[in-house]
Amino acid sequence: MEMKCTKCGKEVTPLELYDGSWSCPACRHSLVTRVDRFVVTHDNEELFRQSEILYGNWLFNHDGTADAELIDKATRLCRQSAQLGNPKALARLAYFFDKDYVGTKCSESTRFKIAYNYYSTLCYSSMTTVETEPGLPPVQWDELRKQTAYSMLRMLCATPSELRDNEQYDLRSNFDRVQNALGIDVDMPTSSGVDERISFADRVFNVLCSCMDKQRAPLFGVYKLTVGDLIKIYKKPFPGKELKNPHALYWLTTSKKVLLSYIRSKYISDGEAMFTRLSTQNSVETMVDELTDDEEIYVFFFNNNGGHKYLNSQGKRDKVKRTIYDRTGTDLLKMMLQNGSHDFYTFYDDDIYFCMKQKNIAEATKALVRKICSGGEEI
């Protein structure tokens, strides 16, 4: 999708970075879905309608396997609509982040902050009505804000622990602010409601299956999992494919050259410890024999399949791989896991491209790791 960069003025397709943020590929300026003036147009309403259809299809048919793509497309269309000012789309987008339907791209606290940002933009908007293009039904503005406020307050019942001291996310003060801003009575929620979130193992599985995506495939990623979770993932069939060995990861790692390896998390700071390849049924069985189900491991993958807009040849991708991961030294990867603030990351070529200004691919890869280790500051 094209959008206009507010800094350089170019029409660009945003880079989508590992922390869920968007950036201009031309000038690296951050592109946020920041809307303060809502308007419903035929265009943004149509995008929202299509997004809702996909979301509905996903919601009523989802069995945790074949449909990660549906929710992914729904999120993209919804984001476009919200970017164009549709308030219903912004409310839905907040909900997608709130309920963690946006994939493993961002950490728990980033996801929470983005959801809060969208919810609160709507709830605390100073607009009294929303302009609607002729021929479209009017927006029930007060009702929409009231529902959004309620979703936001429910989310604030389960603020991630690292954000609990932050006044901005305090349930009580947001509750008071909602009453003031909307001039209405809402009930103080007592729990965050039913847990509709996708399990972590399912989300990792979805990322791995998307390695075959012809448009946009992940480049590499690393996740802290238990051995038990990895086995669950390993045993799942690849959605929509009839294979001799139906197990998706077996298929991806043997015939499709997706590199998969692991290291026991307690060895992450050991300079000598190495990652172990999981490329055969045997290597998985050995791991199962040696480790218990609840042992925590970091699972790393590198993907040379699928579509990569910015690193469109295997040679370019291999430069990233050699820098972040090779047989003898995986120092950068270990450094990232020790110093970064999260236990799981999914990277696309967008992340490398973002760091590539005046740098070659290897230097850009190192810069990306420095950026993560410094909490996003240094490049």
| 24 scored as a contact of Zn ion (CB under 5 A) | yes
* Shortest separation between residue 355's beta carbon and Zn ion, angstroms: 16
- Would you call 172 exposed, middle or buried from its count of C-beta atoms within 10 A (0-12, 13-18, 19+)? exposed
> Which C-beta is closer to Zn ion: that of 8 or that of 188?
8
At residue 159, the 3 state secondary structure works out as coil
Q: Does 7 bind Zn ion (CB under 5 A)?
A: yes
Shortest distance in whole angstroms from residue 29 CB to Zn ion = 5
Output the smallest distance, CB 170 to Zn ion, in A. 36
Burial pattern 109-142, b for ≥16 Cβ within 10 A else e, equals bbbbbbbbebbbbbbbbeeeebebeeeeeebebe
Q: Write down the least CB distance from residue 27 to Zn ion, Å.
A: 3
Among 1, 4, 27, 374, binds Zn ion (CB under 5 A): 27
User: Does 32 engage in binding with Zn ion (CB under 5 A)?
Assistant: no
- Give how far Cα 20 sits from Cα of 115, 169, 233, 371, Å: 11, 20, 24, 15
**Token duo for residue 365:** 């890869």
- Write the interaction track for Zn ion spanning residues 92-131; mark x where CB under 5 A is met and - where it is not: ----------------------------------------
Strand partners, 11: 4
**Is residue 5 involved in binding Zn ion (CB under 5 A)?**
yes
How many chain residues are in contact with Zn ion, going by CB under 5 A? 7
Q: Among 120, 126, 67, which residue's Cα sits nearest to residue 93?
A: 120
Q: How many CA atoms lie within 13 A of 203 on its CB side?
A: 22
Question: Which segment (18-26, 57-65, 134-142, 149-157) binds Zn ion by CB under 5 A?
Answer: 18-26
Complex with Zn ion: residue 42 or 357, whichever CB lies closer:
357
Our finding on whether 6 is near Zn ion (CB under 5 A) is: no
| Site residues (vs Zn ion, CB under 5 A) | 5, 7-8, 24, 26-27, 29
